[in-house]
Structure 1
Amino acid sequence: MIARLQRAITIILVVFVAGWAAACVARGHAAHAAWAALLVVGGYAAFLAAEFIYAAIRHEDGAAARAPVGQLLRAWIVEVITAPLVFCWRQPFRSQAIPDAVDSKDAQGRPVLLVHGFLCNRGFWNPWMRRLRARGIAFGAPSLEPAFGSIDAYADTIERAARQLHAASDQPIVIVAHSMGGLAVRAWLRRYPQSEGLVWRIVTIASPHQGTAFARHAPSTNGQQMQIGSRWLSSLAGTESLERRAKFTCYFGNCDNIVFPATRALLPGAVHHHLPSTAHVRMASRREIFDEVLRATELR
């Protein structure tokens, strides 16, 4: 569903820009042909800027200091470049470009399960899948549906993918989850507590473990579940043991434009790492996270 939706939006934007340019040229105003593209890009950049400003206003003292203006500016510029590659290319057009590598006879170490977040699909993980394949590491990356349903609805999909990876390798798996994906993994373990033994390590990236102010007026079911103080989050937290949470490593940042205040990405009892100057989507590209996951896949 997400691929079709984002494909339609991207095509509409491209047609709009191309139609505007053609009309300008036909009327002898070639100099105005680029205005539509500037309007689209400028509007998108302005919307992201508003997110960063709101995140800065909602800052709370805690594990991460308030981000200086320079860090916020750098994070915004990089996110303006990064996010369209994800939402206008990888996910709508390339989500099936790299198949799962589950049954590889030459697989090395522990397999990796990649779990995407809200408004995403498996195409989000294309760079990760290429790197894992190049290193001979088995992986799976399911797309979670329905896109706007309850986070609990993703548990069965994660269970199937985890069981498949574990059965093929006979090794405990390493899970990497971005944004809402971290909550989906926790909801999966709540529904399938017997599957906790399949897991070696869980790495979450910018996951709203304690909700996010960004979801305050979310209309979708999963968006409402990610609101700060939601009953769903409270219920989820009440089912978790310290032993389970000790399997988590959580990456968060004070320049996150989606999950804020930054401390809301912390999961009590987990290991935490702060990544400065990094926005929400870009955080999944940080080399430190990939390197940590590689270490977790090593058999010692």
Structure 2
Amino acid sequence: MTARHLRWALLIEFSLYTAWLVWRIEGGAGGLASFCAVLACFFGLRALVVTVTYAFTLLGSDPVPANLRCGPLGWLRMVLEEYAGLLRLFVLAQPFESRWLAPDRLDVPAPTEPQRPPLLLIHGYQCNRGFWYWLRPRLEAAGWTVATVSLEPVLRDIDVLVDAVEHRIRELQQATGAAQVILVGHSMGGLVARAYLRRWGAQRVARVVTLGSPHYGSRLAALAWGRNGRQMVIGNPWLRELQNEPLPVPLTSIYSVHDNQVMPQRRCSELAGARSVAIGGVSHLGMATSERVLAVLLGELA
């Protein structure tokens, strides 16, 4: 979702809270109790969103391999990680992405191995480039030139969102002189990368790495809004057509066996013809700030 839309959503939400708070206080209710109720509502609504996603995992998860199980404390940590990720990404980082994520530094050569293709990070459903506020600087510190893109309009067909990727790749090549780039997509961003390859081919793309992408859809997509949300429903005609397209470049699908938004995890994430890397103990939004995901991603890029 664009930063502007997210800011408007927050403004409307806080305006409603303020109006209710004033009404309660003018009616003689305790100010402290009313303020606590507002806080409970604000944080409780977001807790409800996370609860719904994990409720879906109880209905449609794949068995977890023994070596990737994390136990009750691991599950609690994941739930809290997803909740914290929802707050950070949709209340702070993405509504105010220009403050959290400076413009891409494409004119600055990578500190090591400048011959490596630059990276283009593609965010997922209802997000923007602010999603990468934690990961981008760490990839840059590892010696990569990194660009980001915001996909707009937010709820449009994935094939429409591909236009923004094509435009950004051309800008990235012009700025760096690179013949090819590497696409890294989180969630729906992985599908956008594959849709790009279907339309534009592999001439300007060296490889693709996806993080938690629903290559075969997700049961949770039944609750999604917009054309692109419907395209991620399991068995959707658009997804079936995409499966018929051969992969023209190497693709690695990194996914979590505990993903609370892409499920069934293994069946929806392991793409035919691609390399699959399963990890455990990481939630869907938790991938945005996971040291484990960063290590696996750097290993695959290397």
Query: Given the two structures, how large is their TM-score scaled by the length of structure 1?
Result: 0.86
- The residue matched to 2:75 in structure 1 has which SS? helix
In the alignment, which residue of structure 1 is the partner of 2:191? 183
Q: Structure 1 residue 87: deviation in Å? A: 0.7
Confirm or deny that 1:207 pairs with 2:213: yes
**2:118 counterpart of 1:116:** no
Deviates more, 1:214-223 or 1:146-155: 214-223
| Number of corresponding residues | 293
Matches within 5 A, 1:244-283: 244=249, 247-263=250-266, 264-283=268-287
Flag the 1:293–1:261 CA change in 2: closer, same or farther, 3 A.
closer
Alignment of 1:1-300 (within 5 A): 2-18=2-18, 27=28, 29-32=30-33, 33-61=35-63, 69-95=72-98, 97-105=101-109, 108=112, 109=114, 110=116, 111-135=118-142, 137-167=144-174, 168-170=176-178, 172-193=180-201, 196-241=202-247, 244=249, 247-263=250-266, 264-295=268-299
SS at match of 1:249: strand
Q: Check the 8 A contact 1:98/1:130 in 2, yes or no.
A: no
8 Å CA contact 2:219, 2:234 repeated in 1:
yes
SS in 2 for 1:92: coil
User: Which of 142-151 and 269-278 deviates more?
Assistant: 269-278
Relative to 1, partners in 2 of residues 1:296 and 1:49: Cα closer, same or farther, differing over 3 Å?
closer
Pairwise CA distance, 1:5: 1.7
Structure 1 residues 77 and 106: alpha-carbon distance in aligned structure 2, compared to 1, 3 A threshold = closer
Conservation of the 8 A alpha-carbon contact between 2:131 and 2:288 = no
Displacement after TM superposition at 1:130 (Å): 2.4
Q: CA deviation at 1:25?
A: 6.0
Higher mean C-alpha displacement, 167-176 vs 64-73 = 64-73
Distance 1:175 1:290, change over 3 A: farther
Could you report, residue by residue, the CA deviation over 1:15-52 in whole angstroms, capped at 9, with x for unpaired residues?
Answer: 44455556666646133021110122123212311220
Cα separation, 1, equivalents of 2:172 and 2:299: 18
One-letter code aligned to 2:31:
A
The alpha carbon displacement at 1:213 in A equals 0.5
Give the SS at the match of 2:261. coil
Q: Distance in 1 between matches of 2:260 and 2:161?
A: 25
Measured after TM superposition, the shift of residue 125 of structure 1 is: 0.9
Counterpart Cα distance in 2 of 1:273 and 1:267: 11
Give the superposition deviation at 1:169.
3.9
| 1:147-192 Cα deviation digits (max 9, x unpaired) | 1111011222212222333341425322211000000000000001
CA distance 1:34–1:217, shift in 2 (3 Å):
closer
| CA 133–112 in structure 1, closer or farther in 2 if over 3 Å, else same | same
Q: Greater CA deviation, 286-295 or 52-61?
A: 286-295
The letter for the 2-side match of 1:227 is V
- Are the counterparts in 1 of residues 69 and 281 from structure 2 also a CA contact under 8 Å? no
Gaps of at least 5 residues in structure 2 are: none
Do the aligned partners of residues 274 and 292 (structure 1) sit closer, same or farther apart at CA in structure 2, a change above 3 Å counting?
A: closer
Amino acid corresponding to residue 230 of structure 1 in structure 2: N
Structure 2 residue identity aligned to 1:119: Q
**Aligned equivalents of 1:174, 1:143: Cα separation in 2:** 17
Q: Which amino acid is 2:50 matched to?
A: L
Question: What residue identity is the alignment partner of 1:285?
Answer: T
For residues 146 and 203 of structure 2, the distance between their equivalents in structure 1, rounded to whole angstroms, comes to 18
Deviates more, 1:15-24 or 1:142-151: 15-24
Identity of aligned residues (%): 31
Corresponding letter in the other structure for 1:192? W
Contact kept in structure 1, 2:64 and 2:257, CA below 8 Å: no
Residue 95 of structure 1 contacts residue 122 of structure 1 at CA under 8 Å; is this kept in 2?
Answer: no
Q: 1:201 to 1:289 in 2, by over 3 A?
A: farther
Task: Answer whether contact 2:134 2:288 (CA < 8 A) is retained.
Answer: no
What is the SS of the residue equivalent to 1:177?
A: strand
Larger deviation, residues 115-124 vs 11-20? 11-20
